[in-house]
Amino acid sequence: MKNGSGEEEGYDRAKEVNQFDDSKLGVKGLVDSGITSIPRFFIHPPDSLTATTTAIAAPPPANPIPIIDLSGFDSDRRSIIIDQIRDASRSLGFFQVTNHGIPSEVLDRTITAIKAFNEQPTEIKALHYNREIGRSALFSSNFDLYRSKAATWRDTITVTWAPNIDTGEIPEICRSEIVEWDREAQRLGETLMEILSEGLGLEGGRLKALSCTEGKTMVAHYYPFCPQPDLTLGIASHTDPGVLTVLLQDQIGGLQVKHGEHWVDVQPIPGAIVINIGELLQIISNDVYKSVEHRVLANHLHQPRISIGVFFNPNKRENFYGPLPELVSPDEPALYRSFTLSEYATKYLTTELGSKSLMKYFQL
């Protein structure tokens, strides 16, 4: 029998969540303990698990996620690359880039280091497990564990790079690799911001002038085998709140993008980096660029899945952000009000991930 909140009588969800968090096991620790069924608070409503057990292809073209070659950006190919990225950002909000200049050895080392951290004994990882706001680096499972309706099957290292970073808080086993990956992602992010600015018909430095490359958060997700992958997710459907996301994924797969009524796999490509538009850039561009729903399936393989994303955001918290004046006219009126980054961040941190479309709060 269920009570008024939809939970079965006698089931104390808050207690189970607290016990899980206090154990500092993470989902990897649950798997290591030999569980064959997932705790109830990881189970998602059936309507949010639509067709999660098989790969889904959209109508032709079967793989609509563009793959864009960045080689020759400073040559006569520049205009072609700008057009390709602008078109992908206006429609799908997702694309992959190749020949981006990040050495494959850096990508491989970063993935290997994140895997190594997560496969240490639980008692070692537990030393880093916490949710203390203000720390440069955190290890936990589900940053919105206490706000979400259902937890998801992943553990995460989170590193906040701005305004100040204490790299000593990053676990030593993966510290140098994370710092190196951030340096490379920063360079790529700055190049993409320049391209995206020009794609809007603006000066190449326009987004950088708004400090859009200065506020960064890195998340390194580890998705271990899930014994009941059809009952949960790796990450629930959401849109990214920031300006731009630069994502390194391994070759396991599981990332999906909403395309019309379909979920489309973002097929892993060796050496490629996944790029997607955040909600803040959709607002700044006055809906020219699109931020699109995406999710990650629970991992049904015994080999772990790893992804490392860098979220680019402005860092001037009391400045006002909204549609750029250059993109607003009587024919194209502003679709959003202006707001401070502090207001935007507060709204994000008080909303669960699965319902995190922030744009509706700022629409005119």
Q: Which domains does the chain have, with CATH numbers?
A: 31-361 (2.60.120.330)
- What local confidence, expressed as pLDDT, does residue 358 receive? 80
Angstrom distance (rounded) from CA 58 to CA 263: 7
Angstrom distance (rounded) from CA 322 to CA 336: 6
Contact predicate 171/116, CB 8 Å: no
Contact predicate 176/109, CB 8 Å: no
- What local confidence, expressed as pLDDT, does residue 304 receive? 97
- What local confidence, expressed as pLDDT, does residue 353 receive? 58
Mean pLDDT by 10 residues, the chain (364 residues): 51 93 96 96 89 46 83 90 97 96 97 98 94 92 91 97 87 97 97 97 95 94 97 95 96 93 92 97 97 96 97 90 96 95 82 66 88
Angstrom distance (rounded) from CA 153 to CA 234: 5
The whole-model pTM stands at 0.91
Cis peptide bond prior to 163, omega within 30° of 0: yes
Contact predicate 224/341, CB 8 Å: no
Cβ neighbors of 98 (< 8 A, separation 6 or more) are: 67, 68, 69, 70, 71, 269, 271, 272
- What local confidence, expressed as pLDDT, does residue 61 receive? 47
- What local confidence, expressed as pLDDT, does residue 352 receive? 59
